[in-house]
Amino acid sequence: MADKRMTGPEVVGRLESGMTIGIGGWASRRKPMSLVREILRSDLTDLTVVSYGGPDVGLLCAAGKVKKLVFGFVTLDSIPLDPHFRAARQSGSIEVAEYDEGMLQWGLYAASIRLPFLPTRAGLATSVTDTNPDLQLITDPYGSGDELIAMPAIHLDAALVHMNRADAAGNAQYLGPDPYFDDLFCMAADQAFVSCEKVVPTEELTRDHHAATIALRRLFVDGVVEAPNGAHLTSCAPDYGTDEGFLREYAAAAKSPEAWQAFSATYLSGDEETYQRAIAARDDEELSA
Amino acid sequence: MSDISRAEVCVAACAEIYRDNGEILASAFGTIPAIGVRLARHTFSPDLLLTDGESHLVQGTWAVGGPAEGVVEGWSPFRGIFDLNWTGKRHIVMVPVQIDRFGNVNISAIGDHAKPSVQLVGVRGAPGNTVYHATSYWIAKHSTRTFVPAVDMVSGAGNDRVAAAGTGASRYHDLRKVVTDLAVLDYAPASGAMRLVSVHPGVTVDEVHAATGFDLVVDGEVPVTRLPTDDELALIRDVIDPRNLRDKEVPA
């Protein structure tokens, strides 16, 4: 089996400005944040981002990486609205395609199974059709008379997801409560990159867990990055929960350009190792406070 | 029991949303609906399914504001939730930021969608929910800020727009109730326009009209919303909301 292990910078080396990039996880849960941070450090720009959005979206917006966002929501869970995303929207600096959450799933699924579209009722009679004027309707060819939305395939140039464990070939496992849509993101993409808490020998994946927890099969994975604490600030249950204190600091960094500069200088100016050290130092400070 | 609060009246009214719903997934957003749905399952709607807010279906009755405590009876991850929703076996209570006369709601953005004056969370699952299964709404502060003549970004489909969109949208569209801190409302069958069902104790019909930014249908005398029973009050106060989070949502 091919050894697909690579580094975060090597993943970003496979991406190009203008690409459509899908980001797995859900809101503040199991986001591939170390790979998102690599994008922040890169000169990539004009990205179209597809996400069940959390701080991945806020950070990419704040760093000016996003040309267009394809989304159904952006939330930090404990903080209902992401202020960085709000600032980007309220200044009109990003384009959006706003869909029902299930339409997003449908679009990714259509891309996965190589269909141009899948029909759905979701979105009918709402402003989703007004704000996405390219959405087409299709009449049931079997005669019910129902007019349905033909949700177009959301084809991804690349997918980024984070899992608890993976082997070097890209079989990747979630140990938390929910696979989210990470398998669909990978299947809908030309290239899929999975970061994980720990790369383990294949036999370890099923030593204590049902094979159904291996949500990603290697035939849909192109690169594996070992990134301990790589989902940080978001949760990666059961390895760790959301860093709620840091989440508040992240949100507060949207208050002013100066606040963002300070946050960026402290946490985002160095490499991933520097970031993790800064987080560890911050934790020590909180403990001694 | 005496001194029944407005919040407790609202809890019972939210529980009533789930009466005779049978065996469906009950998803209730907002504190008072979350209390109400647990009250309904504990009493008159025992077949409802509830999640822990993450991915497990959990039996039993546990307090709001803390982790679910009960027997796990199934798995309902986000990865499968839209499949379930689209089967129709669900009744959701959502919390709109704006709602109009025909039950169109907005949770997405205020102002011009290309450059909103206030960006909210996004349409979430509201478009799909409203055309696929039963949907009700909870509004903790009934006011003309929320009850508006027209919503900015229609996230959940109302009766007029669904009728205009045809059977693709209308076949399973099923708007049920709107519960607020002042009243219970539904929709007049013929027109699909919002109708006053009952006013909470101590609230007048005129107050409801004044707090609503459009005309409400009123059929004759408007009854008063029922009070929670003593048993229901004990459940609310001692079991489901011992920390009294309900008063934070609807102050006494």
Q: Kind and range of the H or E element at A108?
A: helix A101-112
Portion of chain A with pLDDT greater than 70, in percent: 100
Would you say residue A200 has pLDDT above 70?
yes
Q: Does B172 touch chain A (CB under 8 A)?
A: yes
Banded pLDDT at B244 (limits 50, 70, 90):
very high
Distances (CA, A) of B204 to B3, B138, B223: 19, 19, 10
Q: Is residue B69 part of a domain?
A: yes
Would you say residue B220 has pLDDT above 60?
yes
Closest chain A residue to B85 measured between Cα atoms?
A: A102
DSSP calls for A86-98? HHHHHTT-SEEEE
Distance CA B225, CA A32 (A): 49
CB of B134 within 8 A of CB of B176? yes
Q: Is residue B91 part of a domain?
A: yes
pLDDT at site B249: 98
Taking CB atoms and an 8 Å limit, are B122 and A73 in contact across chains?
A: yes
Structural tokens at position A13: 């080396």
Query: Domains in chain B: how many in total?
Result: 1
- β-pair partners for A20: A48
Q: Does B175 touch chain A (CB under 8 A)?
A: no
Nearest neighbour of B121 by CB, restricted to A73, A125, A145: A73
Q: What Rg value do the Cα atoms of chain B yield, rounded?
A: 18
Structural tokens at position B191: 């027109």
Taking CB atoms and an 8 Å limit, are A85 and B119 in contact across chains?
A: yes
pLDDT digits (tens, 9 = 90+) for B131-143: 999 999 999 999 9
Distances (CA, A) of A279 to A9, A40, A276, A284, B165: 20, 17, 5, 9, 52
- The residue length of chain A stands at 289
A86 vs B contacts (CB less than 8 Å): 118-119
- Domain span at residue B180 reads 6-249
B157 vs A contacts (CB less than 8 Å): 124-126
Handedness of CA A125, A126, A130, A136 (dihedral sign): negative
Would you say residue A289 has pLDDT above 70?
no
Structural tokens at position B227: 């009070």
Comparing C-alpha atoms, which of B26, B79, B235, B66 is closest to residue A25? B79
Q: Is residue B81 part of a domain?
A: yes
Distances (CA, A) of B107 to A127, B37, B129, B178, B221: 12, 22, 13, 15, 33
- The DSSP bridge pattern shows strands A117-120 and A66-74 to be unpaired
pLDDT digits (tens, 9 = 90+) for B165-175: 999 999 999 99
Q: Does B92 touch chain A (CB under 8 A)?
A: no
CB of B12 within 8 A of CB of B232? yes
What mean pLDDT value characterizes chain B?
Answer: 97
Provide the CA A10 distance to its chain's centre, in angstroms.
18
Q: Does B162 touch chain A (CB under 8 A)?
A: yes
Q: Is residue B22 part of a domain?
A: yes
Taking CB atoms and an 8 Å limit, are A128 and B120 in contact across chains?
A: no
B118 vs A contacts (CB less than 8 Å): 86, 90
Average of pLDDT values for B114-121? 98
Residue B124, Ramachandran bin (φ over 0: left; ψ between -120 and 50: alpha; else beta): left
| ipTM for this prediction | 0.96
Banded pLDDT at B23 (limits 50, 70, 90):
very high
pLDDT digits (tens, 9 = 90+) for A88-130: 999 999 999 999 999 999 999 999 999 999 999 999 999 999 9
Q: Does B165 touch chain A (CB under 8 A)?
A: yes
Average of pLDDT values for B213-232? 97
Provide the CA B151 distance to its chain's centre, in angstroms.
18
pLDDT at site B252: 84
Q: Does B190 touch chain A (CB under 8 A)?
A: no
Banded pLDDT at B1 (limits 50, 70, 90):
low
Taking CB atoms and an 8 Å limit, are B122 and A80 in contact across chains?
A: no
Closest chain B residue to A178 measured between Cα atoms?
A: B77
B165 vs A contacts (CB less than 8 Å): 124-125, 147
CB of A147 within 8 A of CB of B165? yes
Structural tokens at position B109: 């953005």
Banded pLDDT at B2 (limits 50, 70, 90):
low
Banded pLDDT at A285 (limits 50, 70, 90):
confident
Would you say residue A187 has pLDDT above 70?
yes
Taking CB atoms and an 8 Å limit, are A147 and B168 in contact across chains?
A: yes
Closest chain B residue to A131 measured between Cα atoms?
A: B113
- β-pair partners for A192: A159
Which CATH number does the domain housing residue B89 bear? 3.40.1080.10
Q: Does B122 touch chain A (CB under 8 A)?
A: yes
Distance CA B85, CA B72 (A): 20
Selected residues 128-147 of chain B with any CB under 8 Å from a CB in chain A: 128, 130-132
Domains, chain A, ordered by start: 8-116+153-245 (3.40.1080.10)
Q: Kind and range of the H or E element at B75?
A: strand B72-75
Q: Is residue B1 part of a domain?
A: no
pLDDT digits (tens, 9 = 90+) for B154-205: 999 999 999 999 999 999 999 999 999 999 999 999 999 999 999 999 999 9
Structural tokens at position A137: 């309707």
